[in-house]
Chain A
Amino acid sequence: MKTGEPLLVVSDLHAGYGSLQAVAGISFKVNEAETVALIGRNGAGKTTSLLAIAGLRYGRFPGSVTLAGVEVSRASSRQIVDAGLAHVPEGHRIFSSLTVEENLLLGAYPRRRSGRKAAAVTMERVFDLFPILRTYATRNAGFLSGGEQQMVAIGQALMAEPRVLMLDEPTSGLAPVVIRTIYEAVSRLREQGLAILIVEQSVPRALANSSRCYVMERGQIVISGDSPVLAQDEHVSAIVRGTEEVSSPARTS
């Protein structure tokens, strides 16, 4: 599926914790059927940006977030899920006292009016994406490995049938073969038309799995461009590794 209309448009977003402003005015967009990467050093503000977009707002700051044309900057996290955005926070967080099935079911909670049968259909699609979960369906999610828990977390987010999916470091700390599984799933989702935003710690991995990329540093976007082009740019790795300071305004290449 070809890249389509912008589904997620973020404009001059600010966010912070108390006196610390972690995000100081960023703007970007993610289109339909596209994977966009957001990279940068630890503490650059990536996680805070995603949480702010998802409705767990930190402070009242200016800026706007639009989902498929609908303004959601002041919306609650529930309303944002209804509007079609799902965020998977870092750390493969799931409900470990519940089974895999129950976890997935809760992902469909906002759509429970449509009934269990509809949820079961969506769950089947999640199992197609991550077949191993089908074997663990009735097992307590707390007993799964990190990678499997991450699959549950992503699956849970997908149960709400979002149009925009945000993933915060979905592969951190996971084994290579699991990383491959997850990125293959991401690729399939993109083909189905989802707009996907991924925060990644590994620069090459981020650039290899996205069509466009934004680099954040100290709460601002300092570099943005097409991934193949940025992959040739040594500055990008250096910035993320911290061996180069950025004092120039945002460049696009």
Chain B
Amino acid sequence: MNDLTNRLGLDSRAWLRWAVPAVLIIVLYFVPQIGGSGTFRLGEYEEILSFLIIAVALNIAMGYAGQYILGITAVFAAGAYGAILAAKYHPHGVGLLAMCIIGGVVGAVAGMIIGLPGLRVGGFYLALVSLFAALAIPTVAQQWGLVGADTGIPLYAVAGWVQEISGVELYAIVVSLVLLAVLFSWALVHSRVGHRFVALHTSRQLASSIGIRAYRTQLLAILISSAMAGIAGGIYVYSQEFFAPGSSSVQFAVLLLAGMTIGGMGTIAGPLIGSVIILGINQFFTGFQQYNGIIFGILLLVFAVFLPDGLMARITVLNERLGITPRTPSLTSGPAPASAESVPPATAATAKPAAQLPDWTPVLGASDSSPLVVDGARRSFGGVTAVDDIHLTITRGQVHGLIGSNGSGKTTLLNLISRFYSLDAGKIMVGSARLDTQPPHAVARAGIARTFQSPKLMLRATALENVIPAVELRVRCTGAESVLRLPRGIRVNRQARTEAQEILEALGLQHVIHQQAAALPHGTRRLVEMARAIALRPSFILLDEPAAGLSPVELETVTEVCQNLARSGVGVLLIEHNVPMVLSIADTVTCLHQGKRLFQGTPAELRADTTVASVFLGIDEPLEASS
């Protein structure tokens, strides 16, 4: 398509992206004028709006951070009770703001109580324990006199409490609060905190390998969403002037979950769209309330099975088709070429790295210049000794190759160094600091980066968004500064973006920077993962079979990257099956066989060593016929 027309066409439809939500927001403010502004009506609108805040909260925890706090309605109820009790006993002091604050605090505490115990065990437990809490709350509340038992607490009957803001004014404020919540969630998701959430959701191992503390991040996600749900409780109480256990909190939780699933988790607009649909159906079908469950159940089932990414996924595709959002060209999805010559230039990372060599001088762990020493490492699994008394030194500024056949212990060793496994015996140190007693994220923070045998990327994010979290480990500001876009936060966000981009460009990946990782072919994914590891500016980098499945051009890139890393002063551990590649760039080579060290020396020595040649090729017993 003609470039100019394309651009024009794009511009004239791109504004739709902003126009539609803007119009919706304006309409939202005028709903009372359109749909009726009687007290009862306004109360209904405000109820739905409060629930939307809960949906936003749940989306942060579940959709982004992967924390399945299904029973968030229990937290909402806790916040609501907190707010209403405060108002009941201090009617003169508690207005909307106070209720929000109290609700938020109580909600956060409730969320912690529900969430903390299950953290160690796994997300699934969190889902069920929180559901059980959602079950328990109304049952308990119905019996408890303090909270009004069955009848609840009518705030309008409390002497001295006045709803100072009311009517259309209150409605407008509630709408604004919802918009604030949405804006906050958007800002959060696109901040360093949000990046940590998504990394954690994708894979705990991935997160640890770029220095993210998994538990803290989980807790933060639960805390934030619980506080928001609690605030929603405060708003609800203020607007309805009443709170009672009401119908099942679990049913409500299921409704919310339905809204999230239908709309699409992990996007900002999805849960809003889905919740409005669900709540709308619920309101509309009040006459047929008893059939609601069937409708919702079937809807939920259909979506879970056929449209797990929800409506938003369809809308996104539609947007691209209509040209409202620029189409992200997906790279080749056809069969991989069988030989080097047939690789079309546009579909591979063909651009050679910049003529000017990038500077990757270590930043993390650079205060010490000692090598990384593996001393007598041993590790068994079941009855099998995977790694047996291995001694190995990775010197800064040098490439150390690690070769050996399948099952020789190479990857296990890497996992031991990066602390995904623990040692049975031995030590791993950098200088005087011991690595083998630290958690994996600490090892990353100490300046030891790694890649994985099978690339672990955040598939929904772009290549750039995959590399940014690694940069954010060293380019620091507080979470709040990043989320709230305070001056330092903006500066740091931008700096992280720029640096991440530079590294991707240095690896020849400039044309995939804004492409979704899911659309990238295998070789490119490997390179993106390497970029992420380099982005830590580590002192040591552990590469697990980086060349597997790469085209010759990509292989060249990897080779040059390794050499450049060494030149910059980084210690490189290169695990590879591609022996010629290793021999061409390594300063030292270690060969493992059945968990033991078979050889250690220079490439020249390796070539001359007949034992290695024979064992490595397998001529090691009389059974072999001499050829």
Residues of A within 8 A of B (CB): 16, 18-22, 24, 41-43, 90, 96, 142-146, 169, 172-177, 179-180, 183, 201-205, 207-209, 218-220, 231-232, 237, 241-243, 247
Contact = CB atoms under 8 A, between A and B. Distances in A.
Contact of A173 (B339, B383, B408): B408
Contacts of B20: none
Contacts of B617: 202-204, 237, 241
B612 to A, nearest CB: 12
Nearest to B578: A242
B580 A242 contact: yes
| Closest 4 pairs (CB-CB, A-B) | A173-B407, A202-B618, A21-B335, A231-B627
Contacts of B332: 19
Given A180-B623, A247-B339, A169 B383 contact: no
B627 A207 contact: yes
Nearest to B523: A20
Nearest to B335: A21
A96 B334 CA distance: 39
Given A173-B594, A247-B339, A19 B521 contact: yes
B618 A24 contact: no
7 contacts: A19-B335, A43-B548, A172-B407, A203-B617, A209-B623, A232-B627, A242-B579
A205 B336 contact: no
Contacts of A231: 625, 627
B548 A142 contact: no
B406 A201 contact: yes
B286 interface: no
B406 A24 contact: no
Nearest to B550: A43
Contact of A143 (B334, B336, B383, B405): B383
Contacts of A173: 405-408, 594
Contacts of A174: 407, 594
A176 B405 contact: no
A142 B381 CA distance: 10
Interface in B376-421: 382-384, 405-408
Nearest to B334: A19
B407 A145 contact: no
B596 to A, nearest CB: 11
B580 A243 contact: yes
Contacts of A241: 579-580, 617
Contact of B335 (A24, A41, A90): A24
Nearest to A200: B618
Given A19-B333, A205-B624, A218-B338, A43 B549 contact: yes
Contacts of A203: 617-618
Contact of B619 (A177, A204, A219): A204
A18 B520 CA distance: 12
B579 A20 contact: no
Nearest to B595: A173
A42 B577 contact: yes
Contact of B522 (A20, A41, A177, A209): A20
B384 A146 contact: yes
B169 interface: no
A146 B408 CA distance: 12
B546 to A, nearest CB: 13
Interface in B571-627: 577-581, 594, 617-621, 623-625, 627
Contacts of B594: 173-175
User: B interface, by DSSP: helix, strand, loop or mixed?
Assistant: loop
A41 B548 CA distance: 10
Interface in B338-392: 338-339, 382-384
B403 to A, nearest CB: 11
Contacts of A220: 338
Nearest to B627: A231
A201 B403 CA distance: 14
Contacts of A145: 383-384
B544 to A, nearest CB: 13
Interface residues of B, number: 33
A15 to B, nearest CB: 11
B406 A172 contact: yes
Contacts of A20: 335-336, 521-522, 549
Nearest to A175: B594
Contacts of A21: 335-336
Contacts of B624: 204-205, 208
A50 B619 CA distance: 25
Contacts of A96: 382
B512 to A, nearest CB: 15
A43 to B, nearest CB: 6
A176 B620 contact: yes
Contacts of A43: 548-549, 577
Contacts of A201: 405-406, 618
A243 to B, nearest CB: 5
A174 B621 CA distance: 13
A179 B621 contact: yes
A249 to B, nearest CB: 11
Interface in B543-560: 548-549
Nearest to B583: A243
B623 A183 contact: yes
Contacts of A242: 577-581
A142 B338 contact: no
Contacts of B548: 42-43
A204 B627 contact: yes
B549 A176 contact: no
A143 to B, nearest CB: 6
Contact of A219 (B338, B382, B407, B581): B338
A19 B618 CA distance: 34
A247 to B, nearest CB: 6
A56 B332 CA distance: 25
A204 B522 CA distance: 32
A174 B620 CA distance: 12
A22 B336 CA distance: 8
Interface string B521-538: 110000000000000000
Contacts of A202: 405, 617-619
Contacts of A177: 621
B345 to A, nearest CB: 18
Given A19-B333, A205-B618, A242-B579, A169 B623 contact: no
Contacts of A204: 617-619, 624-625, 627
Nearest to A218: B338
A179 B578 CA distance: 24
Given A43-B548, A43-B549, A208-B623, A16 B383 contact: no
A143 B382 CA distance: 6
Given A19-B336, A43-B549, A142 B621 contact: no
Nearest to B620: A176
Nearest to B521: A19
Contacts of B383: 143-146
A24 B382 contact: no
B61 to A, nearest CB: 31
Given A173-B405, A201-B618, A24 B338 contact: yes
Nearest to A227: B625
Contacts of A24: 335, 338
A177 B384 CA distance: 16
B625 A208 contact: yes
A237 B579 CA distance: 13
Given A19-B522, A177-B621, A202-B618, 4 more contacts: A143-B383, A175-B594, A179-B623, A242-B581
Contacts of A218: 338-339
B312 to A, nearest CB: 23
Contacts of B627: 204, 207, 231-232
A183 B623 CA distance: 9
Given A144-B383, A242-B579, A180 B338 contact: no
B6 to A, nearest CB: 26
A235 to B, nearest CB: 13
